[in-house]
Structure formats: structure tokens, C-alpha cells
Structure 1
Amino acid sequence: MLAAVSSFFLGGLWYSPVLFGRAWNAENGGEKPPGHPAKVFGISFLFSLLSAAAFAAWLGAAPALESALKAGALVGFGFVAASFGINYQFAQRSFKLWLIDGGYHTVQFLLFGVILGLWH
């Protein structure tokens, strides 16, 4: 649960004007995605919970911090960001947008690794 909450807060900061929010909006044509905020945030939190739970199950009980961090980097960059890269090529999305979105998921899974590697 803590890992999912950390992901949610990371996303709020990552996609805010403080970090990459303006660049992300510009790369998406300056438009914010449609949708009711409660629905968007609620479903996003459920996906964060699913990601954290799946990652925790994959790591197993009481992973060492170093192993959890390596796994976080592998999953975040090697699986998620790389998969985004494939989709972004076919959708003709920018490299900059891939860096923002892939970077978020890489940091997200590294954060999961820190939390799960220390939480036992």
C-alpha cells in the first residue's frame, strides 16, 4: 500500500509544473486529457496499487535492498519504458515525451524497490 501511495505522490510531483508538467502538456499538444478528475485519480491509484502488488509478488518476501533496486531499474526502464518506446514510435510521439513518461515509470519502480527493500 505504501508503495502505491508513493507512486501516486511521485506522479503528482513529476507531472506538476514544478517538474515536467509544462513540458508534458506541450508535448501532448498543449491539451490536458479529458476526464473527471475523481475518476482519473481513482483509476490511476488502482493501477498504482496493481503495479506495486505485482512488483512485490515478483520480488518475493523480504528482498534485499540492492536486489530490489536492481529489479526496480529493470522493470521501470527495461520493461515499462521500453514498452512505451515501442508504442510511442508507432504513435509518432516525441522522444521528449518518452523521456518524461518512461522516466516517471523508471523512478516509480526504483521507489517501489526502495520501499520494498527496506520494509521488512
Structure 2
Amino acid sequence: MNYWAVLVAAVSSFLVGGLWYSPALFGKAWVRENGGAMQQGHPAKVFGLSFLFSLLAAACFAWWVEPAPELDAAVKAGAVAGLGFVAASFGINYQFAQRSFRLWLIDGGYHALQFLLFGLILGAWH
């Protein structure tokens, strides 16, 4: 496993998430779709744990695609993981929780992009 690529993939996920959920992109809509509730908790804890989860996701993805995957195979695996596993699983939960389709698009879209980035980074960096 390329640990540097895993670290960069996790950082990319964290940075894209910051932009994705910012007011410049989908932050305002995300807050509105969550009933206007802002995130609670100490920012250092929230961001620290979020980065650790990004690192865990990147490491698991790297293990799944194995060392030195071909770029096209890694990107396809990213699409399968992001859309087929994560976003689809969110969709199931969101239906039972009566959350909006728009919220699913925001959250599922982020994770689809997250795993596509993982595939791009791990497939390009050997």
C-alpha cells in the first residue's frame, strides 16, 4: 500500500469536503435541508475525527484496490464505492429517516466525489 498516496487521498477528501459543505457550494442548502440546525460540538474534535474517518476510508479503499492499480480500474472502483456502496446506503437510511432527496444529493454527491478522488490519486500514484 502506498501510504503517502493514502495520506494525500485523505487530505483531498477533507479539503473537498470543506469546500463542498461551505456556503460557496452546498453549505447553506445542507443546513436548510437539516432543518436549519448548525453543527454542534468542539470544532477541533469534529474536524479531527472527520479527518481520521477520511484517512480510514482512504486506507480501506487502497487495500480494496490493492497496490498500484491501473488508473481506469481505480477510478471505476471509486465510482462503485462512492455511488454504489456509500451513496446508495445513505439513500436507504435517508428514506427511513424521512430526509429529503436534496440532502441525499448533497451528502451522496460528496462521497461519490470523495471516492472518485481516491481512485484518481491511488490509480495515478504508483
CA-to-partner distance for each residue in 1:66-113, whole Å, 9 max, x for gaps? 000000000000000000000000100000000000000000000000
Give every structure 1 segment of 4 or more consecutive aligned residues whose post-TM-superposition deviation is greater than 4 Å: none
Q: Which amino acid aligns with 2:100?
A: S
**Residue 92 of structure 1: aligned partner:** 98
**Residue 76 of structure 1: aligned partner:** 82
**Residue 113 of structure 1: aligned partner:** 119
TM-score, normalised with respect to structure 2: 0.94
Counterpart check, 1:59 vs 2:62? no
**Residue 3 of structure 2: aligned partner:** none
In structure 2, runs of 5+ residues without a counterpart are 1-6
In the TM superposition, residue 30 of structure 1 has moved relative to its aligned partner by 1.1
Percent sequence identity over aligned pairs: 74
**Residue 12 of structure 2: aligned partner:** 6
Structure 2: how far apart are the matches of 1:99 and 1:74? Answer: 16
Structure 2: how far apart are the matches of 1:35 and 1:78? Answer: 31
In structure 1, runs of 5+ residues without a counterpart are none
Structure 1: how far apart are the matches of 2:38 and 2:50? Answer: 16
TM-score, normalised with respect to structure 1: 0.99
Structure 2: how far apart are the matches of 1:93 and 1:35? Answer: 22
Counterpart check, 1:50 vs 2:51? no
CA-to-partner distance for each residue in 1:7-31, whole Å, 9 max, x for gaps? 0000000000111001001000111
RMSD: 0.4
